[in-house]
């Protein structure tokens, strides 16, 4: 759909990205920020390769590179670039779809997740636990993964704090919240999908889809989100000084997947629908309608980036998911509008500072456009959008 100029631009950018991966240019001299290609990003590159172009023979090569890189690069058990969960997610995702065989390394990652979750439990915090759950979802029904998932869910439950009549999850202190004046003694809650408590609801909906019985926890997390939404459009952060959540609105933050009404609204909608709570679903749709009508014209948007995190690709993908869940046609046309914005920006040579990263750059843009052109959209499970 994107037209040949966009297709050509994407093809060129993806080739550059992969040549850096293969050459292990570390860091590329012109942009240190683009040096995020340790093993995990090799593997995500394979997902892009498969989903964007369906060139399966290439995918296997990328994953072999990723596995080899794991032997050379220090890897930790995280979703960060180079992290084992990032590598593991992409490999498990592709293996589950029959694109590549399941690597034996995945069994070791399952064991490691079980071990770490058992030893450290709730003290890991919801952000890390949800990362583990996101990986384990792709590994089901592997027995060790299923056991690890039980431990992860226990940890998530233990890490919860009251939010409204339901539950929420505290965040690590965030510099943006601190800059905006968060009280040093307060508990901070991040309301975004990048690191915030809505991630718990999003993970639980995904697990419901896999047949895992998590209704009670999903009920509590969705209630917490709904009660917060009843106080107005979600702020990026809240602080609780013992009197309930108060909004914190840092000046420089963009609405999208990472923060704001879009990711929050889709997640509340998904949670409400999974529980059959139509009043809460309607509240989420109102929130999203409010975002659509208040959204700035793209060229006036100071955060007019291309990426999944808070740019045109992420906005298009989220709005397409909303459109599939409700009757209001405004969401489908808004998704289409953001795809056009994305295509125009790419054709004009627009790149983010962090142009090679999955979350902010070309790979995410490629996936969003490929999805619009009919490719399997389920790669957005990594973003907890489906
Ligand atoms: Zn962002």
- Report whether pLDDT(260) > 70: yes
Distance of CA 309 from the midpoint of ligand 1 (Å): 4
Distance of CA 306 from the midpoint of ligand 1 (Å): 11
Determine the pLDDT at residue 104.
86
- Closest C-alpha to 306, from 277, 268, 247, 348: 348
- Report whether pLDDT(245) > 90: yes
Distance of CA 190 from the midpoint of ligand 1 (Å): 13
Distance of CA 145 from the midpoint of ligand 1 (Å): 30
∠ Cα 113 119 124 (to 5°) = 75
Between CA 206 and CA 228 the distance in angstroms is: 22
Residue 111 corresponds to which tokens in the numbers above?
Answer: 């064991």
Place of tokens 């879009």: 262
CB burial readout 248-259, b (16+ within 10 A) else e: bebeebbbbbbb
**Which parts of 104-199 are beta strand (E)?**
161-163, 166-168, 187-190
Distance of CA 264 from the midpoint of ligand 1 (Å): 13
Distance of CA 15 from the midpoint of ligand 1 (Å): 25
Distance of CA 130 from the midpoint of ligand 1 (Å): 18
- Report whether pLDDT(254) > 90: no
Distance of CA 359 from the midpoint of ligand 1 (Å): 8
Distance of CA 337 from the midpoint of ligand 1 (Å): 20
∠ Cα 151 113 21 (to 5°) = 145
Q: What is the mean pLDDT of residues 333-349?
A: 87
Dihedrals φ, ψ of 100, to 5°?
Answer: -135, 160
Q: What is the dihedral sign for C-alpha 272, 274, 204, 167?
A: positive
Which residues fall within 8 angstroms of residue 327, CB to CB, at 6 or more apart?
none
Q: What is the mean pLDDT of residues 71-82?
A: 78
Distance of CA 258 from the midpoint of ligand 1 (Å): 4
- Report whether pLDDT(69) > 90: no
In Å, how far from its chain's centre is CA 117?
21
Distance of CA 236 from the midpoint of ligand 1 (Å): 11
Distance of CA 42 from the midpoint of ligand 1 (Å): 22
Which residues fall within 8 angstroms of residue 75, CB to CB, at 6 or more apart?
38, 39, 40, 82, 83, 84, 87
**298 by DSSP, 3-state: which?**
helix
Distance of CA 23 from the midpoint of ligand 1 (Å): 28
Q: Name the pTM for this structure.
A: 0.91
Distance of CA 256 from the midpoint of ligand 1 (Å): 7
Between CA 335 and CA 331 the distance in angstroms is: 6
Distance of CA 285 from the midpoint of ligand 1 (Å): 22
**240 by DSSP, 3-state: which?**
strand
Distance of CA 69 from the midpoint of ligand 1 (Å): 28
| Among 7-11, 131-135, 176-180, the range of highest mean pLDDT | 131-135
- Report whether pLDDT(366) > 90: no
- Report whether pLDDT(47) > 50: yes
């Amino acid at each position: 759909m994107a037209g040949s100029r966009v297709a050509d631009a994407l093809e060129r950018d993806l080739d550059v990205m992969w040549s850096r991966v293969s050459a292990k240019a570390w860091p590329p001299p012109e942009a240190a920020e683009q040096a995020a290609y340790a093993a995990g990003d090799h593997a995500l590159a394979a997902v892009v390769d498969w989903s964007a172009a369906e060139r399966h023979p290439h995918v296997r090569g990328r994953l072999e590179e990723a596995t080899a890189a794991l032997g050379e690069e220090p890897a930790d058990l995280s979703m960060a670039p180079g992290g084992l969960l990032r590598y593991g997610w992409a490999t498990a995702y592709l293996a589950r779809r029959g694109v590549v065989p399941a690597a034996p390394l995945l069994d070791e990652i399952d064991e490691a997740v079980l071990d770490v979750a058992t030893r450290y439990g709730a003290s890991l915090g919801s952000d890390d636990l949800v990362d583990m759950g996101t990986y384990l979802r792709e590994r089901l029904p592997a027995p060790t993964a299923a056991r690890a998932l039980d431990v992860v869910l226990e940890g998530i439950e233990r890490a919860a704090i009251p939010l409204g009549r339901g539950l929420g999850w505290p965040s690590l202190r965030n510099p943006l919240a601190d800059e905006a004046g968060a009280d040093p003694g307060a508990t901070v809650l991040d309301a975004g999908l990048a690191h915030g408590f809505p991630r718990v609801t999003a993970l639980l909906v995904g697990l419901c889809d896999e047949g895992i019985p998590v209704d009670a926890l999903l009920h509590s997390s969705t209630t917490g989100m709904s009660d917060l939404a009843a106080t107005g459009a979600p702020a990026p952060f809240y602080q609780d000084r013992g009197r309930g959540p108060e909004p914190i609105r840092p000046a420089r933050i963009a609405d999208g997947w990472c923060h704001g009404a879009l990711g929050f609204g889709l997640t509340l909608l998904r949670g409400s629908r999974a529980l059959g709570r139509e009043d809460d679903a309607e509240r989420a749709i109102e929130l999203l309608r409010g975002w659509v009508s208040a959204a700035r014209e793209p060229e006036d948007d100071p955060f007019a980036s291309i990426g999944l995190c808070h740019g045109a690709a992420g906005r298009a993908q989220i709005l397409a998911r909303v459109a599939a869940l409700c009757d209001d046609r405004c969401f489908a046309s808004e998704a289409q509008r953001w795809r056009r914005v994305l295509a125009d920006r790419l054709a004009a040579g627009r790149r983010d500072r962090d142009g090679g990263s999955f979350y902010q750059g070309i790979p995410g843009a490629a996936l969003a456009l490929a999805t619009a052109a009919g490719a399997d959209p389920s790669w957005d499970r990594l973003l907890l959008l489906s």
